[in-house]
Amino acid sequence: MRSAKIILNIGGMTCAACANAVERSVKKVDGVSFAVVNFASEKLTVRYDEDITTVAAIKNSVDKAGYSASFEPAPDETPRLKKDCVLAALFCVPLFFIAMFSMFAPGELTINVTAVCHKWIAFAELILCTPILFFGRRFFTVGFKSLANLSPNMDSLIAIGTSAAYIYSLVEIIVELPHPTPHSLYFESAGVIITLVSIGRYIEARAKKTTGDAVKTLLDLSPKEALVIRNGEEIIMDVQQIKAGDTIIVKPGGVFPADGVILAGETSVDESMLTGESLPVEKKAGDPLIGGTLNKFGKVLYRAEKVGGDTVLAKIAELVENAQSSKAPIARLADKVSLYFVPAVASLAFMSAALWLISGESFPIAMKIFIAVLIIACPCALGLATPMAIMVAAGLGARFGILFKNGFAIETAHSVNTIFVDKTGTITEGRPRIAEITPCNGFSADDILRFAAACENGSEHPLGRAVMEAFAAKGESIPSAEGFTALSGFGVRCTTGKTAVLLGSKKLMAENGVEISQNLENEGKTLIYMALNGMFAGALTASDTVKPSSRIAADRLKALGIEVIILTGDNSSATGAAAKTVGVEKYISELTPAEKAEIVRKARESGKRVAMAGDGINDAPALAEADVGIALASGTDAAINSAGIVLMKNDLLDVALAIELSRRTVRNIKQNLFWAFAYNTLGIPVAMGALHIFGGPLLNPMIAALMMSFSSVSVVFNSLRLKRFKPDAAII
């Protein structure tokens, strides 16, 4: 089996029923294991077996359902929709006034209007209505095609309703020739319905365009051209032509076109567009660069290592787009309703019209009820309720440096009540630093640091790097060392000149007969002991600094009603000190990766909604086990791949922000669903004549069209309100 995944842009969809029709058609293809359509983003995600089926077969199944499928983005239909709206309105306005004049003109004037005038009014309505239906022809081509495929959608309802009104009116003119009367005609209903729905679609399309701004903004960060050194010459070329290994020159004020490493030069880089961090980051030779970030001051030569779709920027854009295209669990309810909604509405329309005829009402009254029921029913609002909010939230999260991988993560995070947090690299900086040097037996702090640097030169161990960073600050050259021996788990041994150096743990000193002359135990910190020529010389104290924002983050999470528990493989002393610093009461230390995952699993089984935040390979099992895994972008690929949320700023405070955004999003979705369901629950009975039974008015089909369009537009604009979300003013 060769599993593959593709994402196709779907054209021609107008409501959630369309999305369901595409899904059903694609799922029937042999070899397709998964197919989901996001109506708001108009994307189809398919997983299939390449040994069984092909992309062409999948596209063909979409075509058979009456829609188009392409890897290329669908053309922007907003200009066409605008043009159709304007042209339809030009004919609709005079049509409406002519029809209303004949209905509401003063009695004396109506009496004086001759049969000839009636005839010309009727023909004027026919002449004005016909081009409106032409400008709205897409409703008929799509609607009747979907009906023929036994997958009726909203366009099918509009097509049936307006066609019935138009054909009935046309028959009335023919039957009543040579003197038709405009009072029994429904040309104005058909024309106004098409015009109003077209205007609603245009407003909806314009608003929906803004939901994709997040991805577009990210991709626009990358420059279009770059200055590259090829064969000793400086060449300006399109960024698409850059290859890994190319040397690129970026001047002050320029944008780095690819990910890479600085070869020469020093500068400050503004990474705020990706991480949200406002302060520029100092960069020098050997430091990494992220494509799309801004070179603030110095001229830099750097080597491109990741280009095109492999850059951090491209992968972030892909994550955001995937999240926007995914389907959240809460959307299943709307999908189930939409699946049966259109056939049910059509049945209700026929049934209500028949019952009114049986009860003795006239055919025109039954016709009005039939059309009103078809037009007012709108699965569009139901279909848009969830994906619109998810799309806005995914884009908004990216702006704050929070990447939601899918709609499931956005929705699930809102219910989290317990969060397990890794210590090293999550609560702390993850980089030990030399905080203190304690000399003994006549040795100096400079002696200890100098000999320690000689032992740790070139070491990849975190403590070794901490020693080298501390020595580098002195600006001295590193003493040469010989006879270097790494003692796994204990320390190192080497000789510098005539001095034998032993550097490592307390146990290492004891095993080599070195007597430690004073108590140097320091709670929560790591001690690196040193002996010179067999004599105890002192110790370096290393500590992993707690991030300044970790305490604020813990307080914020607790304020949200979330229990915070630290899980770590570190020792109890260091963990306790970190927990005390950030104000967390519960912590479990000295855990293996499997034990972390087991604790998370048991918490879930006890009924808790669990999130796990971490950055290391040892956190990956626990991240995967949690309801929501939250990984820091600076972490390992294993951690990031196991998580549903990635924090670009590597800041625990963004965990609280992600949960706040999730809660606001789910609240927005519930509002959308409430209004969509409430609209249909109340609107359909009124259209069926529920008020007329008690002597009330019938719902005019034109008013039904206005209400139908308003319901979809209101859902879109309510979702766009999420863009007002502010981290410091979030309502929980």
Q: Which two tokens stand for residue 624?
A: 């995967």
Residues 6+ apart with CB under 8 A from 599: 420, 567, 588, 591, 622
Query: CB count, 10 Å around CB of 278?
Result: 8
- Cα gap 590→572, rounded to integer Å: 7
- Cα gap 465→456, rounded to integer Å: 8
Going by C-alpha positions, the residue among 615, 619, 637, 624 that lies closest to residue 427 is 615
Q: Does the annotation count 422 as an active-site position? A: yes
Instruction: Point out the catalytic residue in the list 84, 155, 259, 422.
Output: 422
- Cα gap 535→441, rounded to integer Å: 8
Going by C-alpha positions, the residue among 342, 376, 391, 393 that lies closest to residue 20 is 342
Going by C-alpha positions, the residue among 361, 401, 352, 410 that lies closest to residue 644 is 410
E strands, 333-488, in order: 402-404, 418-422, 428-439, 482-487
Q: How far is CA 684 from CA 130, 352, 505, in A?
A: 28, 11, 78
Mapped onto helix, strand or coil, the DSSP state of residue 456 is helix
Distance of CA 554 to the CA centre of its chain: 25
Mapped onto helix, strand or coil, the DSSP state of residue 646 is strand
- Cα gap 436→65, rounded to integer Å: 72
Q: Which residues of 44-65 are buried (b: 16+ CB within 10 A; e: fewer)?
A: bbbebeeeebeeeebbebbeeb
Q: Which residues of 143-182 are buried (b: 16+ CB within 10 A; e: fewer)?
A: bbbbbebebbbbbbbbbbbbbbbbebbbebbeeeeeebeb
Q: Which two tokens stand for residue 18?
A: 């369309």
Q: Residue 368, class by beta-carbon neighbours within 10 Å (0-12 exposed, 13-18 middle, 19+ buried)?
A: buried
- Mode of pairing for the β-strands spanning 628-632 and 610-614: parallel
Query: CB count, 10 Å around CB of 711?
Result: 23
Number of H helices, E strands in the chain: 26, 26
Going by C-alpha positions, the residue among 95, 203, 79, 194 that lies closest to residue 135 is 194
Query: CB count, 10 Å around CB of 606?
Result: 9
Residues 6+ apart with CB under 8 A from 633: 403, 640, 646, 647, 648, 649, 650
**Complete edge-to-edge strand list for the sheet that includes strand 3-11:** 32-38, 43-49, 3-11, 68-70
How many Å is the Cα radius of gyration of the chain?
35
Which residues are catalytic, by number?
Answer: 422
